[in-house]
Amino acid sequence: MGNPSGRQVRSRNLSVTDVTSAARPSIRFRGHSLIALVVVPEEPVSDWLAHLDGLAQRSPGFFASRPVILDVSHLPHDRDSLRALVADLFTRGIRVMGLEGADAAVLGPDLPPVLTGGSPTGQLEIPTGKLKTQPNGGPERPRPASLLIEDPVRSGQSICFPDGDVTVVGSVSSGAEIIAGGSIHVYGTLRGRAVAGSGGDTKARIYCRKLEAELLMIDGSFRTDDEVQPELRGRPVQAWLQDGAIALASLD
Amino acid sequence: MAKVLVVTSGKGGVGKTTSTAALGAALAQSGQSVVVIDFDVGLRNLDLVLGAERRVVYDLINVVQGEAKLSQALIRDKRVETLSLLAASQTRDKDALTEEGVGRIIAELREKFDWVICDSPAGIERGAALAMRFADVAVVVTNPEVSSVRDSDRIIGLLDSKTLRAENGERMEKHLLITRFDPAREMRGEMLKTEDVLEILSIPLLGVIPESEEVLRASNVGSPVTLNAPTSAPGRAYMDAAKRLKGEVVAMTVPTERRAGLFSKIFRRAA
């Protein structure tokens, strides 16, 4: 069997507004880019499947929760053989999300859709079944999911922490920005920009003791200072995402 | 032990050079030996404010580039003999400054003086970066208005990250000097309140210098306000700030001009 190779799948951000009923909120589309595993079966398929079983035995869970694309461009196929192959893979815990190089005549609603426009990202490392170890021999520790900043964040400074929450004990100045993969907690005055859920976390929130922020953003939705209710300005406030828009409430 | 002090602000025109001259002269008058260095290469002013513009032979760039010795370039003040000036070059630009050269000069001046005061140019580029690079203490000059405060905030961030002290993991001592303060305009809400400036910048207050014609008059006659008009409101405010720099405890007041027919307001604040 050929090595499975990675492939990047991209789509564009779209936002469609129904012009005939302007009162309705626009439907939000989000772009998403992820690395999919492309498997390339070879003739004879039964041998290839046996080889695959060997791999699955050495590293159980290798395919678990990975998006898988089946590249059949080098495999003679018809509708029945393709359906059988997808079913064979399914019994091994591999769910095919798309096909590449499939003959358009054999496609049907019972087969995964054909994907185009992917770009290769190179060969993926096949696990050998051993646990990854750090140079000192200990098991790999998970990275911390929060960042603590004890000094004021000054104008012009940018704190970017895509791995989780950011907590600032001081204030965040006008002209400074905090970008967090998770939530943002500011125990002083938030005057700069706060961007939470930068990696697409819709559950991320922004908390601050005094709201004077230039911009609040969660997962791409934002609210500028002008759009903040005057009665909430200067107060302890939390911000979260509700129906795709930023909601604000006093914490008092 | 000599202290290297940088007078900086980010924004231009807030009173860095005036403050450098006034604080330098005040410290020198109290018997300390002081050198003030103009880092505003290409736009030098400190020599004018100190009335030494016709005595500049060699300047900072000549010494940085090894064309003159430090002793040749230092200009001793005629009124206070413990005060010296190292002027900037007017014909060069800030690219002529090198970190190695500035470091060598500062180290040499540390041996000779109690205070080495670096007058930073405006901005955050090379001149300003090298003026603060070797400092132990910073005086951040701010006017009570939003753009000046935001620029000062940016400068404080740089003081905490780009100075030699910060890179060695040591704490940079920072003081806030509010200049061009007008109590009447503050009362009318036309200026940021001192409390608000302190809250935003969160560094200790060194002094509040009232807006005064005396400051402009002193600059134009080439004499620091602490020498030209030591009993004027800004003169007294700078004198108090210099005492605080030396570690003395002086009650924080904002001196005002006394005029016949007007009540003078004296604001007292906790230091």
- Which secondary-structure segment (H or E) carries A216? strand A215-218
Contacts of B138 in chain A (CB under 8 A): none
Q: Over range A215-225, report the average pLDDT.
A: 92
Closest among A228, A219, A209, A212 to A167, alpha carbons compared = A209
- By mean pLDDT, which of A60-69, A136-145, B37-46, B141-150 is the weakest? A136-145
Distance between CA atoms of residues A169 and A176, nearest Å:
15
- Which secondary-structure segment (H or E) carries A97? strand A96-100
Joined tokens for residue A40: 């390339």
Q: Over range B13-40, report the average pLDDT.
A: 97
Residue A209: pLDDT band with limits 50, 70, 90: very high
Residue A23: pLDDT band with limits 50, 70, 90: low
Contacts of A171 in chain B (CB under 8 A): 200, 202
Whole-angstrom distance between the N-terminal and C-terminal Cα of chain B? 26
Greater confidence (A153 vs A11) lies with: A153
Q: Which long-range contacts (CB under 8 A, 24 or more apart) does B62-69 make?
A: B62/B89, B63/B101, B63/B105, B64/B96, B64/B97, B64/B98, B64/B101, B64/B102, B64/B105, B65/B96, B65/B101, B66/B101
Residue A44: pLDDT band with limits 50, 70, 90: confident
DSSP per-residue letters across chain B: --EEEEEE-SSSSSSHHHHHHHHHHHHHHTT--EEEEE--TTS--HHHHTT-GGG-SS-HHHHHTTSS-HHHH-EE-SS-TTEEEEPPPSSS-GGG--HHHHHHHHHHHHHH-SEEEEEPPSSSSHHHHHHHHT-SEEEEEE-SSHHHHHHHHHHHHHHTTSSHHHHTTPPPEEEEEEEEE-HHHHHTTSS--HHHHHHHH-S-EEEEEEP-HHHHHHHHTT--HHHH-TTSHHHHHHHHHHHHHTT----EEE-----TTSPPP-EEE--
Phi then psi for residue B244, to 5 deg, are -65, -35
A154 vs B156: CB contact, 8 Å cut-off? yes
- Is residue B155 pLDDT above 50, yes or no? yes
What is the predicted pLDDT for the residue at A140? 61
Chain B residues in contact with chain A using a Cβ-Cβ cutoff of 8 Å:
150-151, 153-154, 156-158, 160, 199-200, 202
- Is residue A17 pLDDT above 50, yes or no? no
Phi then psi for residue B154, to 5 deg, are -60, -45
- Is residue A13 pLDDT above 60, yes or no? no
What is the predicted pLDDT for the residue at A133? 44
Q: Compare CB distances from A152 to B150, B151, B202 and report the shortest one's residue.
A: B202
Residue A143: pLDDT band with limits 50, 70, 90: low
Chain A residues in contact with chain B using a Cβ-Cβ cutoff of 8 Å:
151-152, 154-157, 170-171, 173-176, 189, 191
Cα B140 → chain centroid: 8
B200 vs A171: CB contact, 8 Å cut-off? yes
What is the predicted pLDDT for the residue at A73? 81
Contacts of B150 in chain A (CB under 8 A): 155, 173-175
What ipTM did this prediction achieve?
A: 0.76
Whether residue A70 contacts residue A52, with contact meaning beta carbons closer than 8 Å, is answered with no
Q: Quick one: B96 exposed, middle or buried, by C-beta within 10 A (0-12, 13-18, 19+)? A: middle
What is the predicted pLDDT for the residue at B220? 93
Q: Quick one: A16 exposed, middle or buried, by C-beta within 10 A (0-12, 13-18, 19+)? A: exposed
Give A154 to chain B, closest Cα distance, Å.
Answer: 5
Distance between CA atoms of residues A164 and B159, nearest Å:
28
Q: Which residues contact B252 (CB under 8 A, 6 or more apart)?
A: B205, B207, B208, B268, B269, B270, B271
Contacts of B200 in chain A (CB under 8 A): 171, 173, 191
Give A247 to chain B, closest Cα distance, Å.
Answer: 27
A156 vs B160: CB contact, 8 Å cut-off? no
A175 vs B199: CB contact, 8 Å cut-off? no
What is the predicted pLDDT for the residue at B269? 46
The SS3 of residue A80 is: helix
Joined tokens for residue A192: 């700069």
Q: Compare CB distances from B154 to A154, A170, A191 and report the shortest one's residue.
A: A154
- Over residues B63-94, the pLDDT tens digits come to 999 999 999 999 999 999 999 999 999 898 88
Distance between CA atoms of residues B207 and B142, nearest Å:
11
Distances (CA, A) of B119 to A4, B37, B125: 63, 6, 14
What is the predicted pLDDT for the residue at B236? 95
Contacts of A191 in chain B (CB under 8 A): 200
Residue B125: pLDDT band with limits 50, 70, 90: very high
- By mean pLDDT, which of A100-109, A239-248, B118-127, B218-227 is the weakest? A100-109
Greater confidence (A117 vs B137) lies with: B137
Q: Over range A155-171, report the average pLDDT.
A: 94
Please give the mean pLDDT across all residues of chain A: 80
B153 vs A189: CB contact, 8 Å cut-off? no
Distance between CA atoms of residues B65 and B70, nearest Å:
11
What is the predicted pLDDT for the residue at B226? 96
Distance between CA atoms of residues B169 and B47, nearest Å:
35
Residue B262: pLDDT band with limits 50, 70, 90: very low
What is the predicted pLDDT for the residue at A132? 44
Give A217 to chain B, closest Cα distance, Å.
Answer: 22
Distances (CA, A) of A33 to A113, A199, A200, B74, B214: 18, 11, 11, 63, 65
Whether residue A175 contacts residue A192, with contact meaning beta carbons closer than 8 Å, is answered with yes
Testing the interface with B: which of A151, A171, A173 to mutate, by most B Cβ within 10 A?
A173
Percentage of chain A exceeding pLDDT 90: 38
* Angle, helix B213-220 to helix B233-245, in steps of 10 degrees: 80
CATH numbers and ranges of domains, chain A: 37-106 (3.30.70.260), 146-250 (2.160.20.70)
Q: Over range A158-165, report the average pLDDT.
A: 93
- Is residue A16 pLDDT above 50, yes or no? no
Distance between CA atoms of residues B45 and B17, nearest Å:
7
- Is residue B31 pLDDT above 70, yes or no? yes
